[in-house]
Amino acid sequence: MRSCICLSPSNGFQVFVILVMMIHRKKYDIVIFGGTGLTGRAVVEDLALSVSSGKTSGISWAVSARNCEKMVKILHEIQDSNETGDLSNITVIEADVKDETSLRRMTQQTRVLINCVGPFKSTGEAVILSCLSTHTHYLDMSTESVFLERMQVKYCLSAEEAGVLVVGSCGSKSLVCELGLQFLQKNFPGELVWTESFGSDSGHSGHSDSMSCMTWDTLLGVMASSRELRRIRKTLFESVFEKKTPKYRHKLKSHSFRSHPLNGWLVCVPPSYDIDSDVVRRTQTQSYIDNNSRPVQLVSYVTLGSWFRLIPLSLHTLLFGPLIFLLSSFSSGRSILSCFPRFFSWGSFSRTGPSITTSNFEVVLVGKGYLTELNTPEEEPVPPPGEVTMSLRIKGPEYAHRTASSCINQAAVTLLKERDKIRFRGGILTPGLVFRETSLRQRIQKHGISFDILNSI
């Protein structure tokens, strides 16, 4: 019989119970919080399939949601539509981001918490505080730089002292990008200096699918918080990081629009909205401080397809771009933009999003550098990087749900099984820092994500 742990309003007895339970060993290895949402359901389904197929073994897990009845129904649906085996023994823990006591009751029972409750900017901090107080490692799939960097500024020392790893973006493309970049660095015949990322989501027919409205809403939130992000980032790179990275004469320049033989026409992701570059920059900065390694510069592009789509999208951006920025600056304007994603984005985003069953994603990383390794990170030869070029292709099933779920679940499993390979005792960290020496890339390759070197010139 499936159990459902519910909490009534806090009182003295509950506080006493919580303190007693904290003394004992944690009951679960992994708890997935927010299992009733679209993303959370995909994470639950992926872990259930992974455990039943034997790809993941020796893991005890539970799920948590605000509505236990709905969560139980979803577990039944997952069991009926997949070969997951019997899920009736999976415990459902009731927890609400607005109820601090329920959060503590949840986090104290698990070694690792996977947080799927967004938007993280408004809900994530309470969950992280609960994890810090109960010494529970925390993973999420946030793509909100303002949230990730604000948490690092506020709680980096607290997480280190508590011995808690708080790792954001474990289900975003940032994790795949970081693993790919490390793979590229490891195989690069010389000194890697520049990397360009070319990403696309497409169906089997090869056309680019529209992205989901959740991604659109996140983008609107990023636009609205751009001023706050600049203030937080100034504090992060001036106060939290112990030293500044070198300033190079040869900077990797971006192009608003460009073509590529592998990907067709592309549009550059503006630096202010490029979560991959933000995460990579934090990783590279900390690696420079810790290991005196050269920071790799990254610029990201998104595939548009043929020039038939490029021309109308360019005109649409010129006409509606200023209006979108204006509306995104206040809540009622963002509500209007959120209701009509396809119209305001010229079909790039939609309420339906990409097809989960037929879509796939592809990221091509093109690295450039010098044939000979440089003596110091500050050294910069007169000619710009380009003596050696190497390309890496990363491919997998639909990203927002299928691949993202596999990535964050395997990140949790890796943290549990390879804790001795993670040199950080605790902290607010990036996936690239935490999983650098682990087998996470090999683990997600078993779930249909491939990393292939295309060429080296």
Same domain, 145 and 184: no
Residues sharing a CB contact under 8 Å with residue 19, sequence separation 6 or more, in sequence order = none
Give me the pLDDT at residue 346, please. 67
Q: Quote the crossing angle between the two packed helices 226-235 and 145-162, to the nearest 10°.
A: 30
The residues facing 452 across adjacent strands are 393
Q: Identify the pLDDT of residue 169.
A: 95
**Chain CA centroid to CA 145, Å:** 10
Measured over the CA atoms of residue 68, residue 73, residue 79 and residue 81, the dihedral's sign is negative
**C-alpha span between 321 and 224 (Å, rounded):** 14
Pick the last residue of a domain from 110, 144, 167. 167
**Cβ neighbours of 375 (radius 10 Å):** 8
Domain assignment of residue 412, yes or no: no
Domain shared by 123 and 230, yes or no: no
Residues 138 and 70 in one domain: yes
pLDDT of residue 167: 98
Q: For the chain, how many structural domains are there in total? A: 2
CB 364 within 8 A of CB 391: yes
Q: Are residues 359 and 295 in the same domain?
A: yes
10 and 47: one domain?
A: yes
Cα–Cα distance, 101 to 412 (Å, whole number) = 24
**Residue 225 pLDDT more than 70?**
yes
In order of 262, 295, 298, 391, the CA distances from 194 in angstroms are 18, 9, 6, 12
Mean pLDDT of 269-294: 90
> Tokens for 157?
């020392």
Handedness of CA 77, 78, 82, 87 (dihedral sign): negative
Q: pLDDT (tens digit, 9 = 90+) per residue, 40-66?
A: 999 999 999 999 999 999 999 999 999
Report the CATH number that the domain containing residue 117 is assigned in CATH.
Answer: 3.40.50.720
For 16-49, the pLDDT digits (tens) are 444 444 445 799 999 999 999 888 999 999 999 9
Confidence bin at 2 (pLDDT 50/70/90) = very low
Whether pLDDT at 208 is above 80: no
Q: Quote the mean pLDDT of the chain.
A: 86
pLDDT reading at 7 higher than 90 = no
Task: Give me the sign of the Cα torsion angle 231, 279, 400, 134.
Answer: negative
Closest to 432 in 3D by CA, of 223, 236, 214, 148: 148
Rounded Cα gap, residues 83 and 79, in angstroms: 7
Based on the fold, state whether residues 332 and 349 are members of the same structural domain: yes
Q: Does residue 232 lie in a domain region?
A: yes
**Residue 429 covered by a domain:** no
11 in a structural domain: yes
pLDDT tens digit string along 106-163?
999 999 999 999 889 889 999 999 999 999 999 999 988 999 999 999 999 999 999 9
- 412 CB-near residues (< 8 Å, 6+ apart): 29, 30, 112, 114, 139, 170
Domain termination site, one of 140, 167, 194: 167
The torsion angles phi and psi of 165, rounded to 5 degrees, stand at -90, 120
What is the token pair recorded at 336?
A: 């209007």
Residue 169 tokens, joined: 């973006």
Q: Are residues 218 and 296 in the same domain?
A: yes
| 145-162 and 213-224 helices, crossing angle to 10° | 80
DSSP 321-383: HHHHHHHTTSHHHHHHHHH-HHHHTTTSEESS-S-TTT-EEEEEEEEEEESS--SSTT---SS
Q: Helix or strand or coil: residue 50?
A: helix
pLDDT digits (tens, 9 = 90+) for 170-192: 987 899 999 999 999 999 999 99
- Report d(CA 379, CA 294) in Å as an integer: 9
Among residues 147, 167, 187, which one ends one of the domains? 167
Instruction: Report pTM.
Output: 0.88
Shared domain check, 265 and 155: no
> What's the rounded Cα separation, in Å, for the pair 309 and 312?
6
Residue 63 contacts residue 26 (beta carbons within 8 Å): no
User: Which pairs count as long-range contacts for 154-163, CB under 8 Å and 24+ apart, including other chains?
Assistant: 155/128, 155/129, 155/428, 156/240, 156/427, 156/428, 158/132, 159/132, 159/426, 159/427, 159/428, 160/425, 160/426, 160/427, 161/426, 162/132, 162/135, 162/426, 163/135, 163/425, 163/426
Same domain, 313 and 242: yes
378 part of a folded domain: yes
> Would you say residue 409 has pLDDT above 90?
yes
**301 within some domain:** yes
What the block records as the tokens of 66 is: 């605000």
Spatial contact of 119 and 225, defined as CB atoms under 8 Å apart: no
Q: Is 213 part of a structural domain of the chain?
A: yes
Please tell me the distance from the alpha carbon of residue 130 to that of residue 128, in angstroms, as a whole number. 5
107 and 227 share one domain: no
The answer as to whether 238 is a domain residue is yes
Do 151 and 216 lie in one domain? The reply is no
Domain residue limits at 64: 4-167
Residues 86 and 207 occupy one common structural domain: no
Task: Map residue 67 onto helix, strand or coil.
Answer: coil
pLDDT of residue 376: 93
